[in-house]
Amino acid sequence: MEKKNIDWSNLGFGYMATDKRYVANYTDGAWDEGGLVDDPNITMNECAGVLQYAQTVFEGLKAYTTEDGRTVMFRPDLNASRLADSARRLEMPVFPEDRFIDAVYQTVKANEAYVPPCGSGATLYIRPYMFGINPVIGVKPADDYQFRIFTTPVGPYFKGGAKPITIKVSDFDRAAPHGTGNIKAGLNYAMSLHAIVTAHAEGFDENMYLDAGTRTYVEETGGANFLFVDKDGKVVIPKSDSILPSITRRSLTQVAKDLGLEVEERKVAFSEVPEFVECGLCGTAAVISPVGCVNDHGKDIVFKNGCDEMGPVIKKLYDTLTGIQMGRLEDKHDWLYEIK
């Protein structure tokens, strides 16, 4: 496989059109057989459901090259089931999970020349999504839908590597109790844009959102789940119905157990945060981004084992999960799906 002539090491996190994308249409109550197309543009009616009432859900995963030269994806079966959950919550038809995995395979295979080489730090980001496409003006679910997948090569999410970031406690809310915080929908991101622009303008990298109901429990950031480590080395993971179930976080939980660490998934009060010694953000883009400091309305909460560099427990989790992903460590849970 001859790779494209791209400066892999200097890629940012942006969109670059690749050769092929996958499209399937849902009309008259059924999905068509779907397939790969060349055109990156979509033509739809001015009154399409997605444009008027934001009926759209998405996923994000990566394909990359392992140290022994295989092209692999990490746990696409969980993306398939999460997209199905998201679709059900927004009254959209489910794209069958086995077809999802097949469609992702086809799309990556067709764009294999864009899968970055091992060691470049870059990956091929895969974006499956679906949306209501027929005209909808009275408020109701669309009748027709389109499922698509495109890929784009991306560099490391956080430029400058794994240096601990500083986040602020947001005065905005991300997700309402009993709302849509637990699904991967564009609507959750649209309403977080003002909060992130505000945080960046104030010099912070991210927002920590608290539960919207009581503002006393830790939820997540705009696009990553929290993981904390307490002074006894126990991994503590916030639990809430309005957190998006991150596949990276679920995988790190398993890795922590495999490493013999104690893991606790439970509600985490914001008042406990100063007692933790390490903090990280989990998501596909960065795996774990260490957090050095949380700013609570001008007052800094510093994680004492992880303020200048990634703390030891988070580093161990990071090295183990990325070791499995890169084929350096045994994949005993069969998490890697090879593209052949």
Ligand X SMILES: *Cc1c(COP(=O)(O)O)cnc(C)c1O
Residues within the interface to ligand X (CB under 6 A): 60, 184, 220, 223-225, 244, 246-249, 282-284
The least distance separating ligand X from the CB of residue 83, rounded to whole angstroms, comes to: 11
User: Is the Cβ–Cβ distance between 250 and 242 less than 8 Å?
Assistant: no
Q: Which residue has the tokens 């079966």?
A: 77
Whichever of 223 and 238 has its CB closer to ligand X, that residue is 223
Burial status of residue 130 (CB atoms within 10 A of its CB: 0-12, 13-18, 19 or more): buried
Rounded to whole angstroms, the Cα distance separating 99 from 13 reads: 28
The least distance separating ligand X from the CB of residue 245, rounded to whole angstroms, comes to: 7
The least distance separating ligand X from the CB of residue 291, rounded to whole angstroms, comes to: 14
Rounded to whole angstroms, the Cα distance separating 339 from 76 reads: 12
Whichever of 126 and 224 has its CB closer to ligand X, that residue is 224
Whichever of 246 and 305 has its CB closer to ligand X, that residue is 246
Whichever of 135 and 179 has its CB closer to ligand X, that residue is 179
> From the centroid of its chain, how far is CA 157?
11
The least distance separating ligand X from the CB of residue 28, rounded to whole angstroms, comes to: 32
Whichever of 21 and 82 has its CB closer to ligand X, that residue is 82
Whichever of 249 and 315 has its CB closer to ligand X, that residue is 249
The least distance separating ligand X from the CB of residue 284, rounded to whole angstroms, comes to: 3
> From the centroid of its chain, how far is CA 244?
9
Q: What is the CA radius of gyration of the chain?
A: 20
CA distances from 155 to 24, 147, 335 (A): 29, 26, 22
Whichever of 84 and 136 has its CB closer to ligand X, that residue is 84
The least distance separating ligand X from the CB of residue 244, rounded to whole angstroms, comes to: 4
Closest CA to 278 of 301, 261, 256, 259: 301
The least distance separating ligand X from the CB of residue 120, rounded to whole angstroms, comes to: 20
CA distances from 93 to 43, 59, 103, 211, 244 (A): 21, 15, 17, 30, 20
The least distance separating ligand X from the CB of residue 78, rounded to whole angstroms, comes to: 7
Whichever of 238 and 306 has its CB closer to ligand X, that residue is 238
Closest CA to 320 of 293, 287, 297: 287
Rounded to whole angstroms, the Cα distance separating 234 from 280 reads: 14
Q: What 8-state DSSP symbol labels residue 48? A: B
